[in-house]
Amino acid sequence: MSKDPRQIIINPFITEKGTHIQEEAGGYVFKVQVGANKIEIRNAVQEIFKVHVRKVNTINCKGKPKNLGRYQGRRSDWKKAIVYLAKGESISEFEVMQ
């Protein structure tokens, strides 16, 4: 059973460090679904952006504990993926954002 690629890739994650990764190594950072694996992420990026993915690295980010008055809660855990493309390829949507 195949998942919809737009459910796997939640949104691009634009940060200063992510921009540095993009310029130096040709990698793009995305916020992805927590249950997605590297193969699903690779296929989703290839299908959405019509590029060839060389490598995918994933990072699980734990939610921070937060206080609201006397109540204590926790932010949600989330996952980010760094997607490296084949040489000479780029995602034009990221170029527009800079």
Digit-coded pLDDT (tens) for 61-89: 999 999 999 999 999 999 999 999 999 99
Residue of 87, 78, 89, 96 whose CA lies nearest to 30: 78
- Position 1 scores a pLDDT of 47
Return the CATH number of the domain spanning residue range 5-87. 3.30.70.330
Residue 59 has pLDDT above 90, yes or no: yes
- Position 98 scores a pLDDT of 52
Buried b (16+ CB within 10 A) or exposed e, 22-45: beeebbbbbebbeebeeebbbebb
Task: Express each pLDDT in 10-30 by its tens digit.
Answer: 999 999 999 999 999 999 999
Residue 51 has pLDDT above 70, yes or no: yes
Residues 6+ apart with CB under 8 A from 26: 84, 85, 87, 89, 90
What average pLDDT does the segment 51-59 reach? Answer: 97
